[in-house]
Amino acid sequence: MTMRIRGVARASLLSFLIGLIACAGGRRAPRETSTSDARPEPPESSASNDLDKPKEESKTDPERRRLELEKRLKAAIELDGHAQGWEMTEAVAGCRGGGPKCTTIVNKVQGISEACFLGGQVLFFLRDGDLDEAESRLERVEASAEKMGPIRKRAAAQQKAVTDAAYECEKDRAPCKSRCDKDNDLPSCIAYGVALYVEDKKFADARPYLKKGCDGNYEVSCNLLKDVDKVEAEDRKSATAKIDAAWASLKSIGDDLATKKFLHAFAATNLKGPRNARATQNMGAHIASITKDDFCPAMKEFLKVSSRAELAKRAKAHCDDDPPTATGLGGNEESLTAECKAVFATTCP
């Protein structure tokens, strides 16, 4: 899961983390249990002595067996540890354990667990009286719960630790940072990283703190780190687009200027007479005007979004590999490499 913050007003560190943790827990499942399918939860105390009897005996008594299987199902769902686990199980059972209607319900539930989904099918078959089918599916529920239960328990402990650290970090960042830097307290690292990310928009600064948490197997920190990666990639893409657009404008003006400078030099060398002299003089004034009014402003715009090093790199590549051309003496097409380099080396005020 990735949480996006771009375009949102300054966020509270604590509220952001609480919202992030809430999203991981899932939403409450819709209840669609029909009156014909639903039964009140069996009173466990009245059947507890019976459930202690041998399993073989329970199979001869359908009601006792049903109670035993339902007790195992509840224990598995509790072990699975998912938020609103039994409500999710009831929701799946209420939509008859499968089919398009069930898919619609499940799609409305964020992060429904495998154990809850399979458990809903078990509960449906228990209420439908197919105890053999319920028992065969229950084994998959128990296997899933045994696998995921400890993971969810650890995640819940991590979420509480990070939330507690966020309270402290929101009061004063300095001790929060110190606990991370000196004591390697991972919840403090995550809380401080979130503060840099959410409140300060300092993505590069937040990265090492969130990476510490992720390296320590804190899932919430790994998710945030992915979000930082995504935001930085979008920023790089946006910055590159701005640089490309500024360069395209500057290159177009620069190539035109290089061509005019070539023609001006050609005229000054090869065309004689007072009339040509005046035309050459006017062309020189026009070149100076383009440089001042068009080329230098375009260069200024490029340097706003990039650097002189990037300008030099792009200008060299362009002038060496794809310079402007003009028709020279004898009608030959000439590459204006020298003129191109001279133009892009222009010093603007």
Mean pLDDT on 163-172: 88
Residue 72 falls inside a structural domain: yes
Mean pLDDT on 79-100: 77
Q: Which of 157, 182, 198 delimits the end of a domain? A: 157
pLDDT digits (tens, 9 = 90+) for 209-239: 999 999 998 888 898 899 888 988 898 899 9
pLDDT at 349: 86
Q: Which of 138, 157, 176 delimits the end of a domain? A: 157
Residue 229 falls inside a structural domain: no
Q: Which of 157, 177, 207 delimits the end of a domain? A: 157
3-state secondary structure of 310: helix
Residue 31 falls inside a structural domain: yes
Scan for tokens 């004034």, then name that residue.
Answer: 285
Q: What is the domain count for the chain?
A: 2
Instruction: Point out the least confidently predicted range of 47-61, 83-97, 289-303.
Output: 47-61
Indicate if 30 and 144 belong to the same structural domain.
yes
Gap between the Cα atoms of 3 and 224, Å rounded: 7
pLDDT digits (tens, 9 = 90+) for 4-29: 444 434 345 555 555 555 444 443 33
What are the distances in angstroms from CA 92 to CA 23, 55, 80, 211, 349? 21, 28, 16, 38, 72
Closest CA to 336 of 244, 256, 247, 250: 256
Gap between the Cα atoms of 51 and 243, Å rounded: 74
Range of the domain at 51: 13-157
Query: Looking at the chain, how many residues does it have?
Result: 349
Asked if residues 125 and 134 have their Cβ atoms less than 8 Å apart, the reply is yes
Helix (H) or strand (E) holding 273: none
Asked if residues 191 and 169 have their Cβ atoms less than 8 Å apart, the reply is yes
Confidence tier at 106 by pLDDT (50, 70, 90): low
Residue 176 falls inside a structural domain: no
Residue 170 falls inside a structural domain: no
Indicate if 145 and 271 belong to the same structural domain.
no
Backbone dihedral angles phi then psi of residue 333, each to the nearest 5 degrees: -80, 125
Asked if residues 180 and 210 have their Cβ atoms less than 8 Å apart, the reply is no
CB within 8 Å of 68: residues ≥ 6 apart: 51, 55, 58
